[in-house]
Structure 1
Amino acid sequence: MNNTNLVSVIKDGRRQRRRRWMIVNALLVVLACILSFAMLMLGSTIYPVQDVMRSLMGESLNGVSFAVNTIRLPRLVAGLFAGLAFGIAGNTFQTMLRNPLANPDILGITAGSSVAALFCILILHTSNMAVSIASVIAGLITAVLIFVFSKGKSFSVGRLILVGIGIQAMLSAMISYLLMVGAQEDIPTALRWLSGSLNGAQMPALLPMIITVLLCAPIVIVLGKHLSILELGEQSATSLGLNTSLTRLLLILSSVFMVAIATSATGPIAFVAFLSGPIAKRLVGVGYSNVIPAGLVGVNLVLAADLIGQFAFEVRYPVGIITGLLGAPYLLYLLIRMNRKGSL
């Protein structure tokens, strides 16, 4: 094969990968739009599309306007931005640290936020705003502690994951203790928050999450092209001219902020960060950044799980229960596969 043919084959392969990337993203956006309209239309009363659209445009309709604008729209916005935050952040950690277990759920970042939130709910009896602020601060502190304790002579992914799992176990014990000593009347609120739920979402309370995601997600998307370089390892990335320390710091800070703020708004929606990256990678393939597809997969997972939890059973379940049921089997499968390969 001469050089001309080789260049042609490479260009054709790149075009095919780009076409696949664009088609997958377009389909994920379409699916998200369908699920979004389903969330706005479905409830104790089912409203037609035209009534929903008229209500969203500001027209006052008896019953419809309150149900759509006050109850269903904030719930939808919470699902959209939380799914985007968890999906992008989970994929960033997994790709950057080159390990599918390296996500905020397993590393304990969401558990840190949960401990602070439960302490505020069960012990201090503070307002929702104070719960959110404490949750964000605790998530950031947990992330810092993980990186401080895992720091050695050089950066080690394995050490970081082990430290994260250890901290996560300690925080889980603290969560159990808080649930034991908390006042009986506060336990339902704590458990509802802990399971991850979109119930009771209100637009003013969602503004911090919306602003944070709109600021941090573009940073991760722009730096997404460097994730594949970081995947090659520290020495290879440095030899290619990448400032690994600065890139990793920006990616970690942006991802941790998004996870912490999303957890403070909706609670720790289980396994969305864990599942989004691998699903997106299977759909998109290699050759292009996986950040946007992972975010869109996270959105679809949260919206679909919420609809299933609300309408597929006689009893309504929080979204985190459904995502937990989806993610737990995959975690077991991944652990078995990694153990067979000797990766654990």
Structure 2
Amino acid sequence: MTLSSNTLATTSPPSEGIDKPAGLGRVRPALRIGPLSLVLRPTMLLVVLILAAALFAMFCLDMTIGDAHIPVGRVLDVLTGGGTRSQRFIVLESRLPRALTAVVVGAALGLAGALTQSILHNPLAAPDVLGITAGASLGAVAVIVGTGGAATGFAATIGAPLAALTGGLVTAVAIYLLAWGRGPTGDHGVTGLRLVLVGIGVNAFLLSGISFLLTRASLQDAARAQLWLNGSLNSTDTARLIPAALALTVVVVVALGSARTLATLRLGTETTRVLGVRIQTQQAMLIGAAVVAASVATAVVGPVGFVGLAGPQIARRLLRTPGEPLIGSALVGAISVVGADVASRTLFPVDLPVGVVTAAFGGPFLLYLLVRMNRKATLS
């Protein structure tokens, strides 16, 4: 008797005395809505909901911090349309853009890290390791140092972010072209290991370029550039937040629409090719989406290190998935940046940039990944 997937998803477990077919384990329940078919994973869904709730709680807590302390209950009251006029001004006009920017930047970095790590099959393949963040930083520093603070108005608002976005995209194209070559099977393309190695080299070159620009700048311009290089939320505003949110929305749509292709790419080159997937085309498209997300995040607040590296790995362990989960990585990334903003203004005597806090916690996590990878290599 032949059993369809619908039959397996809806029939009751076999009774005693009836053996299960070989290789058939517990079948997950299926949910069908018209042409859509989803497999229900209650544990994974519960973890995602917990992460979303933690992000909302951290988001509200972030808006309580400032010169005038506002309790969380008052913040929720303002967000639902209540509160006094002064409370609405403080929360909606002053603190809400900063908190939303932290969410957008963290989600973009987490999603970018999940895409690059999934495609390249390497937990170290994050935008800040591959040189994308350094390219964006070089573009922004060049504008800050080059204008000497002379730009005003719209040029001052959009100049450095636009240069950062351009620098990240140009760097990604350069890395991709330098990594192009003949693979182990004889086909021309880009392999994960080659892309990571080229990215590390380009990252070192770009960091030296940033250092050179800082040594040639005036003291005032160097201070402005150094503040931006630390990844600060202090200068965030709606003019930068809205384009970043729109870009992140487009990247999320592209990433979720390619979720099945991304899962297929994890199966290896030969299997993916047999399934009819155009490997190089899909890799280029998904890496492009990751580059846009990372470049936009860097353009808004500056480089925020280790979020794209640690976020997908933490989400993978929480959700227990075979690959880096997209939604989970975005949520963990957002929690990391919002939490770093809260910690920078409450745990330290001075208001630290969020990039300093994420680097302090991300450095030990990088060492953990390196030790873990070394143990795997030794055992194998």
- Tell me if both proteins adopt one fold, taking TM over 0.5 as the criterion: yes
Please report the TM-score for the alignment, with normalisation by the length of structure 1. 0.93
Deviation for aligned residue 1:8: 5.2
CA distance in 2, matches of 1:251, 1:200: 30
Deviation for aligned residue 1:246: 2.8
CA distance in 2, matches of 1:245, 1:277: 23
Give the counterpart of 1:171 among 196, 206, 211: 206
Deviation for aligned residue 1:227: 2.0
Give the counterpart of 1:148 among 161, 170, 177: 177
Please report the TM-score for the alignment, with normalisation by the length of structure 2. 0.84
Gaps in structure 1 of 5+ consecutive residues: none
The question of 1:282 aligning with 2:311 is answered no
CA distance in 2, matches of 1:53, 1:229: 43
Deviation for aligned residue 1:6: 5.0
The question of 1:307 aligning with 2:342 is answered yes
| Distance verdict in 2 for CA 1:172–1:340, change over 3 Å | same
CA distance in 1, matches of 2:375, 2:23: 38
CA distance in 2, matches of 1:108, 1:62: 46
Amino acid at match of 2:177: V
> Based on CA coordinates, which of the two structures has the bigger radius of gyration?
2
CA distance in 2, matches of 1:130, 1:212: 17
Give the counterpart of 1:317 among 328, 352, 361: 352
Assess if the C-alpha contact under 8 Å between 2:169 and 2:292 holds in 1. yes
The question of 1:162 aligning with 2:191 is answered no
CA distance in 2, matches of 1:59, 1:12: 43
Give the counterpart of 2:128 among 89, 105, 113: 105
CA distance in 2, matches of 1:225, 1:295: 18
Deviation for aligned residue 1:68: 1.1
Identity of aligned residues (%): 33
Give the counterpart of 1:261 among 274, 287, 296: 296
Deviation for aligned residue 1:258: 1.1
Partner residue in 1 for 2:7: none
Aligned length: 343
| Distance verdict in 2 for CA 1:48–1:342, change over 3 Å | closer
Cα distance per residue 1:61-96 (max 9 Å; x no partner): 343233212221010111111111000110110111
Q: 1:51 aligns to what SS in structure 2? A: helix
Partner residue in 1 for 2:28: 11
Deviation for aligned residue 1:58: 5.5
Partner residue in 2 for 1:20: 43
Assess if the C-alpha contact under 8 Å between 2:119 and 2:192 holds in 1. no
Deviation for aligned residue 1:244: 2.0
CA distance in 1, matches of 2:204, 2:367: 17
Cα distance per residue 1:122-155 (max 9 Å; x no partner): 1223413011111101100000000000100232
Structure with higher helix content: 1
| Distance verdict in 2 for CA 1:38–1:159, change over 3 Å | same
Give the counterpart of 1:139 among 168, 175, 199: 168
Amino acid at match of 1:138: G
Runs of 4+ in 1 over 6 A off after TM superposition: none
Q: 1:197 aligns to what SS in structure 2? A: coil
The question of 1:65 aligning with 2:82 is answered no
Assess if the C-alpha contact under 8 Å between 1:81 and 1:213 holds in 2. yes
Gaps in structure 2 of 5+ consecutive residues: 1-17, 31-37, 183-187
The question of 1:51 aligning with 2:71 is answered no
Q: 2:26 aligns to what SS in structure 1? A: helix
Give the counterpart of 2:263 among 201, 224, 228: 228
CA distance in 2, matches of 1:159, 1:229: 21
